[in-house]
Amino acid sequence: MTNRGIILPEPGYHDVLRELNQRNGTLLIIDETHTICCGPGGYTAAYGLKPDMVTLGKPIGSGVPAAAYGISQEVADKILAKIKADTTDESGLGGTLSGNALAVAAMRATLEHVITKENFQRMIPLAERFAEGVDGIIKAKGRPWHVVRLGVRVEYRFTPTPPKNGGEAEAAKDQELDRLMHLYALNRGILLTPFHNMALISPYTTAKDVDLHTRVFAECVEELIG
């Protein structure tokens, strides 16, 4: 869902999803490639979810092509039985993208220095500061907009309420306003993600950086409303 912006689940959604999943004998697979922004264990750890499988793509290698997965013991036993029974040398696990020396080195460096508890303890408060700054301006200026945060990922949209699905998110886009906001920020030294008004707080982000965006956002809104 993060490809359409941050679309948070309704309260109780994951509990019902897991119950339906277990009742019907299907596997629950959670892709943490975007939601690793919630912490070292991603959304799964932050919200106490219990999937059968977890996958994680490029963030685990800081952008270097790499991937990893985690599986429950029950699923692991079934996979191992299949591998042992197979008459070929193909297991369907791993590969050159996840097993080469560069990828392994990148993953180790990322896990040791980037996706750490210490970094998230500093980054999440900065993300909260970012969201509070934007929200304060939206309310002070009476704009029908909103801001939403997921871990160290923060986004603001030009609609009164957050979208509940991809269709609503797509329909809520304001291309001209998005482009204006991006260009206004870029001209003042701030690079927002090119596809949303989204900021990703990194281990190198400072309170000064966050406050600069808040100030620039306020100036842009002031010019817009005259």
Hey, what domains does the chain have and what are their CATH numbers?
A: 13-113 (3.40.640.10), 117-225 (3.90.1150.10)
Distance CA 70, CA 54 (A): 5
pLDDT in tens, 58-67: 899 998 988 8
H-only helix segments in the chain: 13-23, 42-46, 73-85, 96-99, 101-113, 117-140, 166-171, 175-186, 207-225
| pLDDT in the model for residue 3 | 79
Q: What single-letter DSSP state applies at residue 164?
A: S
User: In whole numbers, what is the pLDDT of the chain averaged over residues?
Assistant: 90
Nearest partner of 134 among 217, 55, 212, judged by Cα: 217
Residue 172 has pLDDT above 70, yes or no: yes
At 80, is the pLDDT very low, low, confident or very high (cuts 50, 70, 90)? Answer: confident
Nearest partner of 51 among 79, 27, 85, judged by Cα: 27
Q: What are phi and psi of 107, to 5 degrees?
A: -65, -40
Cβ(30)–Cβ(44) under 8 Å? yes
Q: What are phi and psi of 199, to 5 degrees?
A: -115, 140
pLDDT in tens, 177-216: 999 999 999 999 999 987 788 999 999 999 999 999 999 9
> What proportion of the chain, given as a percentage, has pLDDT over 70?
93
pLDDT in tens, 89-148: 555 555 565 668 898 899 999 999 999 999 999 999 999 999 999 999 999 999 999 999
Burial environment of residue 137 by CB neighbours within 10 A (0 to 12, 13 to 18, 19 or more): buried
Distance CA 30, CA 117 (A): 21
| pLDDT in the model for residue 214 | 97
